Copies of this chain bind each other. A is one copy, B any other.
């Protein structure tokens, strides 16, 4: 069968199940039951039934029609992968899937959904919207895709990593006690935890169940007496002194027992906190229907996890030092490549692989922290470009190369973007690069009192672009985890949705950019950590301590646009890069570092 026939066959199988179940439609989200950013291969239901492998999207299958809803990043990829004979394509935001779906159906129709794969908020909104149109939303726990997915990959059996206090700086018991005390203060009996990052942080565990996200998958219920029920494939824990590691008030349960325990919480009439935006509907409805009182609230680990302690920060600093050496070796190699002219066979993919080979030189390197964006020329204008979604662009025809990459190291997570000159660049490109750098510098130099939120600082990174009539269509900074997800909340620096006050220990990216469609793209990204500052004034201030020390490409700078303060920032930053990295480099790499960090 060709790929069209494979998808057609799968869609038909699901439609047969719909008829059996007397359903008129079934909704297939990209999410798994943890509703996180990264999902394991066995949860790629959307890809199985549509062919579309993007990291976000949702399909609606009706008996006669089907539609795929994707965002702007994936308009091209979706058309290449999901057959147009079967699927119509819609933009997730412009055409809300529920509104579209309601328009296809008559009153009395029934729509199936798997309550483990949607948030409670989604469920409540969907139920209200469809009910108003006389359509019934039906929970289907026997997912028709799972029923027909015969060659479904087996879930990972990778053993967990017991992540010790020498890396976490705080025992799991201490973390649980702190959060349990807060539950008690708020009169709550328990908190449901469904996000993999939260549970792994709380139990001082890591794992290899998902690519890019070093976690073991599971669920947990933390009680106000600081005991915890952990639902996990216990095969992954066998070879370890698990109880000794997490403390003996953690009880292990097979994942299949989750429903039973949640039902018991309900029968006991407990008051349970859960996050209706991030926890799946099934968990919460199971508790509620059994008699629990649900208290909507943000995952209670988020703020504690976001504010790294000194041990975690020491790991982050060490990982960044290692990562900087790999980046510099790559950038030096790249310059030599350009100089040599021997670029035959080099493309975006080989560049990304070469960069990873330098990272792999470290024993502590585990994997990339996300899929490397290795983008030449016009491809860099697509913020979420990935060379494997099409044909990687060959090297040699473009002036600018953008590489956004990061590593998962056992002691920390990195994320860095450098935009480098690999050919001819014009004055306009230099001017735009310089404005992006000016924004980066302005944010880097900020001082701010406690209570300041990311939304207040975002403008600093944009004003040099705004004053010239340009902008970029993404946030300026995301939170970063400690050997966890490279995207972590609640901290953020962006024009919207970033009201969380920045606190000491929070790690964030500083990554303004500029993108000219079909021409070029620029992004300058360091990671920073919120720290106490030492001004002599009256109000204690916070500042950003830099984690990333890798040269920015001064060949792309238009000096005429820089203020004296900006000149000084670049020179001081480069002097510090040299000071930190020179002892770990030699030969041609050291020579490269010296010229790349020379005084402007």
Contact = CB atoms under 8 A, between A and B. Distances in A.
Interface in A436-490: 445-449, 451-452, 455-460, 463, 465-471
Contacts of A85: none
A341 interface: no
B466 A448 contact: yes
A interface bracket (residues with beta carbon within 8 Å of B) = 20 to 34
B563 A469 contact: no
A63 interface: no
A259 to B, nearest CB: 36
Given A456-B455, A456-B459, A459-B460, A467 B535 contact: yes
Nearest to A448: B466
A257 interface: no
B565 A471 contact: no
A493 to B, nearest CB: 11
Nearest to A466: B447
B563 A470 contact: no
Nearest to A467: B447
A495 interface: yes
A212 to B, nearest CB: 32
Contacts of A447: 463, 466-467, 469
Contact of A469 (B446, B468, B539): B539
A538 interface: yes
A469 B535 contact: yes
User: How many monomers of this chain does the complex have?
Assistant: 2
Contact of A541 (B456, B466, B538): B466
Contacts of A565: 563
A449 B465 CA distance: 11
Interface in A197-213: none
Given A455-B456, A463-B460, A565-B563, A539 B448 contact: no
A388 interface: no
Nearest to A563: B563
A587 interface: no
A536 interface: yes
A583 interface: no
Nearest to A465: B537
Nearest to A435: B537
Interface in A39-95: none
Contacts of A540: 469
Interface string A556-587: 00000001110000000000000000000000
Nearest to A517: B538
Nearest to A469: B537
Contacts of A449: 466, 471
Interface string A201-227: 000000000000000000000000000
A449 B537 CA distance: 34
A447 B538 CA distance: 31
Nearest to A536: B469
Contacts of A541: 466-467, 469
A317 B430 CA distance: 40
A186 B470 CA distance: 36
A565 B562 CA distance: 12
Interface of A: 445-449, 451-452, 455-460, 463, 465-471, 495, 533, 535-541, 563-565
Given A446-B459, A466-B541, 4 more contacts: A452-B495, A469-B538, A469-B541, A563-B563
12 contacts: A445-B467, A446-B466, A449-B471, A451-B495, A452-B459, A456-B459, A467-B535, A469-B535, A469-B538, A470-B537, A471-B539, A563-B564
